[in-house]
Amino acid sequence: MTKQISAIRGMNDIFAADADAFDFLISTAEETLKQYGYRSIRLPIVEKTQLFSRSIGEVTDIVEKEMYTFEDRNGDSLTLRPEGTAGCVRAVIQNGLTHNQIQKLYYTGPMFRYERPQKGRYRQFHQFGVEVFGLQGPDIDAELIVLSARLWERLGLENLELQLNSLGNQQARAEYREILVEYLTGHKEKLDEDSLRRLETNPLRVLDSKNPDMAEIVADAPKLIDHLDDESVEHFEKLKAHLDDLGIDYVVNPNLVRGLDYYNRTVFEWVTSELGAQGTVCAGGRYDGLVEQIGGKSTPAVGFAMGIERLAALLMDHDKVPPQAQPDIYMVLVGEGTERPGMVISEMIRDALPDLKIQMNMGGGSFKSQFKKADKSGASYAIVLGEQEVQEHKVALKPLRLDEEQQTVDWDQLCDKLAQLFA
Ligand code: ATP
Ligand code: MG
């Protein structure tokens, strides 16, 4: 027998209940974003490697060890996108979308990172990202947060905690970096291997350490938020005032620095305690310097990305996914000459009542087996077409869930009847 070929570790087929959860999440997110005036952007999955090393930063986990990088047949170094912001920034620059324009964009799709696969952490995973270009005030930061809060509400997700911090401007960060390096150097014997390396390359990332042994030294470290520039303090205060007005709870987490280099000022994460170590379901912030850094005209920007797998897991754990493909009506067709009119009737209903979901029995079978399928489908009604019904131009309409009588309905009155029943 030929050996089966399986998928690559950490890259999953998503089907059945998982796929329903993905669909529910993505369609609800799209509707919500559209309600706030955001537009879809579709971006390539492969970009030049340089785009990511220049934007995400050479000394981040992603660029150091997580990228899927390869040479194409031309010898150019390409990378499967590990996140969406860099490609989105490249696209808005390349297409001239940032010239005195405000852009409010969203996208969704797969991202790739070579990480150790575990619950909530995969090598191909999916994000829903939102980016705004051309606005520098805290009002847009607040809008991104309030629209994400609205999305959680629509999805039925409770208990997500909003963590907030400000990273200030570049100069404030540079000054703080010195202070932090001095502190960490004084406690070198307590640093783990990762942190020792980061102390040399990217000391702020030490604060991001997930190692519990590092918790104490991180907790006692001097805080960036105590060393911010005045304008960033004002920006942060205004953001918090908006959130207070909107009734959105938050926790200021001074150690929230985010994994990527490009952030400044506002950073935020929505966190759950229900998914173990992989608790961040949405992360974002402001990145005013990035557009210029990758060759565009200086343009303020802010955005966030949701981890779809983690949110889908929460939705399923809490039974929040409404049935995605459950029919309203199941067509039961038994006997000679029922298939052709059955198909015509199904299409007639779909023409007249586009919101109704109709599933037609395919592949034949006895009354009994078709009814079993009808029942299992979750449909509210079965429409039954037998030889006699065809002769009389009628169908039997049989309720499957409600305690109603079965009725016989003429073909030309069927759509009106269904419109009443499903009104
Ligand atoms: P983490 O600290 O968990 O590694 P990160 O800081 O690397 O996260 P971001 O780059 O900010 O993550 O990505 C935004 C979101 O995408 C994360 O909050 C998470 O929900 C999701 N995400 C990131 N990496 C993965 C992955 N390997 N598998 C599944 N989801 C992921
Ligand atoms: Mg990571």
* Domain carrying residue 174: 170-228
Shared-domain flag, residues 87 and 156: yes
Give the pLDDT mean for 98-127. Answer: 95
Shared-domain flag, residues 107 and 33: yes
Quote the pLDDT of residue 82.
97
pLDDT digits (tens, 9 = 90+) for 175-197: 998 999 999 999 888 888 888 88
Quote the pLDDT of residue 198.
85
- Nearest-CA residue for ligand 1 atom 6 is 259
Shared-domain flag, residues 301 and 335: no
**C-beta 299 within 6 A of ligand 1:** no
Quote the pLDDT of residue 259.
63
Confidence band, pLDDT 50/70/90 cuts, at residue 166: very high
Let me know if residue 4 belongs to a domain. no
Q: Are 148 and 303 in contact (CB under 8 A)?
A: no
**C-beta 130 within 6 A of ligand 1:** no
129: pLDDT strictly greater than 80: yes
Confidence band, pLDDT 50/70/90 cuts, at residue 161: very high
Q: Total structural domains in the chain?
A: 3
Q: Give the end of a domain, one of 182, 200, 228.
A: 228
Shared-domain flag, residues 304 and 397: no
Shared-domain flag, residues 159 and 308: yes
pLDDT digits (tens, 9 = 90+) for 50-69: 999 999 888 788 888 999 99
pLDDT digits (tens, 9 = 90+) for 333-360: 999 899 999 999 999 999 999 999 999 9
pLDDT digits (tens, 9 = 90+) for 215-270: 888 889 999 999 999 999 999 999 999 999 999 999 999 988 876 678 899 999 99
Shared-domain flag, residues 138 and 255: yes
The pTM (predicted TM-score) of the whole model is 0.91
The length of the chain, given as a count of residues:
423
Let me know if residue 6 belongs to a domain. no
Quote the pLDDT of residue 190.
86
Closest ligand 1 atom to Cα of 269: 18
Residue of 151, 204, 281, 310 with the most ligand 1 atoms within 8 Å of its CB, for mutation: 310
242-248, Cβ contacts within 8 angstroms, sequence gap of 24 or more = 242/138, 242/139, 242/141, 242/142, 242/146, 243/142, 243/145, 243/146, 243/162, 243/164, 246/142, 246/146, 246/149, 248/145, 248/146, 248/149, 248/162
Average pLDDT, rounded, for the chain = 94
- Nearest-CA residue for ligand 1 atom 20 is 307
Give the pLDDT mean for 3-9. Answer: 95
Give the pLDDT mean for 151-175. Answer: 94
Quote the pLDDT of residue 200.
85
pLDDT digits (tens, 9 = 90+) for 306-320: 999 999 999 999 999
Q: Give the end of a domain, one of 317, 340, 363.
A: 317
CATH number, domain with residue 414: 3.40.50.800
Quote the pLDDT of residue 284.
96
Q: Give the end of a domain, one of 285, 317, 349.
A: 317
**C-beta 122 within 6 A of ligand 1:** yes
